[in-house]
Amino acid sequence: MKIRNKIKTNWNITTRFLVTLIFIVIIELFVNLFWGGQMTTYNNWISIYPTPEKFTLNFSKYVGFKNQTPFIKEDGIRQVQKNGAWIQIIDENFREVYSFKKPGTVSVKYTPIEFAHIYKYDIANSSIFIGEKKHGSRSFSYIIGFPLNRVAKHTLVFNPSSLRRFFWNGVLLLLGIDILVAVIISYFVFGKRMGKPLQNIINGIDELSRGNYETNYLEKGVYKGVFSNLNNLGRTLRENRKKREELDKMRDTWISSISHDLKTPLSSIKGYAEIMKDPDYTFSKEEIYQYSEIIYNKSTYIQSLIQDLNLTYKFKNKAVPLKKEETNMTLLLQDTIIEILNNPLYSNKNVNFYPEDENIEAFVDKKFLRRALANLILNAIIHNRDSVQIDISIYKKDKIHITIKDNGRGIPEKDLNYVFERYYRGTNTNSCTEGSGLGMAISKQIIDAQGGSINIESTLGEGTTISIIL
């Protein structure tokens, strides 16, 4: 059925080209015939240039008489000279009575048959036209000769009925030949060279709509650019599908991890709450304080997970209002590092700070930017061995550059493109660290929202470098 539909579509395309071309051929044929007829019938369509025949017929007004002898008036002489012509006037006996610029080979006396033939046949390398001038009871004829290189005559003798029959037979034959040529051209040019590639384009779009992105088309012919775009679109859709599948897989893993992370503190909260509500057991003040602190910490952890999830979706939808102000970035970065190192868990970490200047100003939201920087530094501490060295620097060159570099384990190449994606959780740590898997994604969203950019480079076994530009 699918092959039949393709053949049908291909034939439909070829048929449309064929019908269109035949239609054009027929219209062109009738237009040409009409125009040819018009040109044949109306040979004087440009009225501003009179024909030799009209010139000759109207020339009688320039013929005058003196003592019953004809002559050419001055205006007539100028007209003859202007056209490079010559003129001869003869009487009723076919004898010359006047001439002007007549070639020497032209006779001065004609027989009736010669006079009849001179209108049909050229004489003295001239095209001949004859007019008449009456004077009283007498009638004079004048002959005007035009140079052959300016005016030429051809006599056509035909049978009107035979011509009509020949004409219509010729039209039908010409029309048949034109249609045959149109069919051949349509099939081999439009059908093969244009119709078939067009069908391949339609099939390619159909394949893409069905989710088949693997087909690669040969980029050649009239539709070379279209096939190139189809191949590019297929590659883009393949990459997007692969990325979406990997993201879906990562999200499933993240949901599983978050479910586990939520289940663990909830179990602790539930367990200690059940113990504390037992009426048969009397708790000491220290026990109540200890259990309450555990419940509080676990609740706080759950709350932070929910807040991180909520925050990343707010940043994604641009629903987080930023309160920007002039900020000393050197001091902000220094305070963030000190705050991290004041935590007993990280007090023994090797973190070095190298500011270029003590006062590097930027217009930012301090609260969110501090959180982003803290996330990035903590990520370098938590996901590396205890002996890791972290070097943090800041300098200004047109823009503000912040670098966080460590000599830790590095990140596998397959994971490097997903570090700033939601749901990504570092896998190169020996400890079972709690976290939402959204810290790096939130950091990138915060920096992007501040109008900055962030980039990460890493080599497995050598370390990682994070570059921030504000």
- pLDDT for 233-283, tens place per residue? 888 888 888 888 877 776 776 677 667 667 777 888 888 888 888 787 777
State whether 99 and 59 are in the same domain: yes
Domain end residue (candidates: 287, 314, 341): 314
CB 91 within 8 A of CB 140: yes
CB 240 within 8 A of CB 230: no
CATH number of the domain within which 249 lies: 1.10.287.130
pLDDT of residue 149: 82
**Mean per-residue pLDDT, 345-365:** 92
Please state, as a whole number, how many other Cβ atoms lie within 10 Å of the Cβ of residue 42.
9
State whether 196 and 135 are in the same domain: no
Residues in the chain: 470
Whether pLDDT at 114 is above 90: no
Q: Report if residue 46 sits inside a domain.
A: no
- Tell me which amino acid residue 443 is: S
Q: Report if residue 211 sits inside a domain.
A: no
Q: What is the pTM of this model?
A: 0.47
Is the C-alpha dihedral spanning 269, 274, 276, 281 positive or negative? Answer: negative
State whether 237 and 162 are in the same domain: no
State whether 36 and 59 are in the same domain: no
State whether 352 and 460 are in the same domain: yes
Higher pLDDT, 458 or 194: 458
pLDDT classification of 432: cutoffs 50, 70, 90: very low
Q: Report if residue 298 sits inside a domain.
A: yes
CB 183 within 8 A of CB 191: no
State whether 309 and 325 are in the same domain: no
State whether 326 and 252 are in the same domain: no
State whether 173 and 143 are in the same domain: no
Domain end residue (candidates: 147, 169, 185): 147
Higher pLDDT, 295 or 310: 295
Q: How many domains does the chain have?
A: 4
pLDDT of residue 427: 47
Q: Report if residue 80 sits inside a domain.
A: yes
State whether 242 and 274 are in the same domain: yes
Whether pLDDT at 211 is above 70: yes
**Mean per-residue pLDDT, 321-348:** 92
Q: Give the domain extent around 277.
A: 225-314
* Distances in whole angstroms, Cα of residue 258 to Cα of each of 30, 264, 266, 294, 371: 80, 10, 12, 19, 21
